[in-house]
A and B are shown apart, each in its own frame.
Chain A
Amino acid sequence: MLFDTTQLVVALLWIAGAFALAIALIPLLGTLPPRGRFALISFVTFIAGLFFAAEFFLPVGEDNKNILTDPFQKMQGSLQVITALSLGLGTYGLVRLHLRNAVQRRPQWGYSLVLLIAFVVMAFFSIWNTMAEKGLFGIERTQLLENAFTLLFDYTLIQLDATMFSLIAFYIFSAAYRAFRIRSIEASILMFTAMLVMIGIVPLGKLISDSIGLPAVQTAEMRTNPFMLENILYNLRLPQIAGWIQETLNAPVQRAIEFGVGIGALAMAIRLWLSLERGIN
């Protein structure tokens, strides 16, 4: 047993208390003037952010903990609950929107109906499957469940998902044929680099390099004498060229991009923490 009865009762009381507090706070917040409401939300946001920042930056003792480490671990549990709640909120929004579409017979309401039916059927068998998997309430795995879940999950959801993603290959193929044109020096460099990498990274690159007689192995002598003809020929192998492009050209560029993104994210985080970010109105 994960919890005993007392723990369960205490947990339920906590949930009920938190729920009652939240319900009571909503009208209270409504009575505050907008500036006061904003100040209160900013203050709570700042304190919450400060807690996480302080836990990260405060020095730790011999046990690798500081004063905030234990409360931080408790906070992690509540944050997981909040993240899980957002799933419920998303589900509620989705069902509400499509239910309204279907009931009011809005344009293309048939799609909404299909979505709702698929949602209910999939949710029913998924929940049943999870309960049977965990042995909750004595529910057992039956042949009907096995067949229905396999049909819905393995043979429908997975295949649809994979098909949707696979379509990208066809769009890329069509787009590459129509749009990839050598109209400038930059476009030419990009195109030939892409072609070298595309062939160099697959086994065909090795086959082509072998078939034109380029050395397949770099010997110790070749490594110590980089300008040796054999070494130059070895480095002209398609896999070596592709590897060089990825590791020597691509990696620094990626690092530069990530560095820029990191600084941008830090600036955005500080703006959010200090409630300077107004969002989109």
Chain B
Amino acid sequence: MEARSIWERMMRIDRRILYVILAVNIIAALMARVAIEPDVPPPVKRFYDTVEALQPGDMVMVSSTWSAGTLAENQPQFEAVLKHLMRKRVRFTIISFAPPARDISHRLARRIAEENGYVEGKDWAHFGYTPDIIIAIKGMSEDIAQTIRQDVRRTPIAELEVMRGIKSLKDYKLVVDVTPSDTLGNWISYRPPDLKILYCPTSVMAAEAYTFLDSGQILGMITGAKGAYEYERLLGIVGLGTRFINAIQFSHVLIIFFILLGNFGMLMQRRASAS
């Protein structure tokens, strides 16, 4: 059997070895207590400034359409945004356009609300799962009580204390869309014209949103767990984003290192074949 060169062996490395290297890298990075100060990008700063400009008692809609698949990215965003809203003593309602998103966001919001002295029904409410986003946004733009009818606890919308003085989305100050799905286009198209939009996509979805940032149709954006980390630094809190950021950035470094290594191996193999 012909002996393989080191470059050839490197090119045929078993994928399980790569998986173990990545897993070890992620575990080590999650355990590391190193915090590198971020360069907060303008979309995150604008997001923060928009929430910061809210007055106590203002109303915000949080559109939470994410499930466990994107938990690592959307949960840090969701938690950071809710904590900021509660710090500003802003009223908010949550709505989900995917069935699993309802339970996850309700349980999380309930926990964060308890920690921050928010009372469900009085300071915040969860509208539950609604099947069709376009119909829901158009309907809520006219009359929320007629469109949604009741919250997750079966209380009629009109009887919720948090909805006092609120008839439709026109009475809201802004909407925060936390999602890995393509729901942003629907909010932009069908919301009342004066309702401002803030966006929390996963990292892969963020690339598509720059066009809306550029046009001013969304005012700010938190990109994945990395964006949540930057937001947490602005808020001065330690959340999931802070815990995840090292795993993200050191995985990036590892991927780049292995891409370079693979290319170097390919060049050396070519050179060896040529000679």
- A-to-B contact residues, CB < 8 Å: 2, 69, 73, 76, 79-80, 83-84, 87, 133-136, 153-154, 157-162, 164-166, 169-170, 172-174, 176-178, 180-182, 191, 195, 198-199, 201-207, 237, 239, 243, 246-247, 250-252, 254-255, 258
What are 15 sample pairs from A and B whose C-beta atoms fall under 8 A apart?
A: A73-B143, A79-B135, A153-B103, A165-B72, A169-B26, A174-B18, A176-B255, A176-B259, A177-B262, A180-B263, A203-B37, A204-B249, A204-B252, A250-B207, A251-B210
Given contacts A87-B131, A176-B255, contact A254 B38 (CB under 8 A): no
Q: Give CA–CA (A254, B201) in the complex, Å.
A: 16
B39 touches A203 (CB 8 A): yes
Q: Give CA–CA (A159, B104) in the complex, Å.
A: 12
Q: Residue of A at shortest CB range from B248?
A: A202
Instruction: Return chain A residues, CB-CB under 8 Å to B142.
Output: 69, 73
B252 touches A202 (CB 8 A): yes
Query: Interface range on chain B: under 10, 10 to 19, 20 to 34, or 35 or more?
Result: 35 or more
- B-to-A contact residues, CB < 8 Å: 13, 15, 18-19, 22-23, 26, 36-39, 41-42, 67-72, 99-100, 103-104, 107, 130-132, 135-136, 138-139, 142-143, 146-147, 149-150, 152-154, 156, 207-208, 210-211, 213-214, 223, 226, 229, 245, 248-249, 251-256, 258-259, 261-263, 266
Instruction: Return chain A residues, CB-CB under 8 Å to B214.
Output: 247, 251
B263 touches A181 (CB 8 A): yes
A203 touches B38 (CB 8 A): yes
Instruction: Return chain B residues, CB-CB under 8 Å to A204.
Output: 36, 249, 252-253
Instruction: Return chain A residues, CB-CB under 8 Å to B136.
Output: 80
B131 touches A80 (CB 8 A): yes
Q: Residue of A at shortest CB range from B250?
A: A204
A198 touches B252 (CB 8 A): yes
B204 → chain A closest CB, angstroms: 10
A239 touches B211 (CB 8 A): no
B245 touches A191 (CB 8 A): no
Q: Give CA–CA (A154, B111) in the complex, Å.
A: 14
B132 touches A80 (CB 8 A): yes
Instruction: Return chain B residues, CB-CB under 8 Å to A161.
Output: 67-69, 71, 100
Contacting B262 at CB < 8 Å: which of A69, A166, A180? A180
B165 → chain A closest CB, angstroms: 19
A254 touches B207 (CB 8 A): yes
B208 touches A254 (CB 8 A): yes
B68 touches A158 (CB 8 A): yes
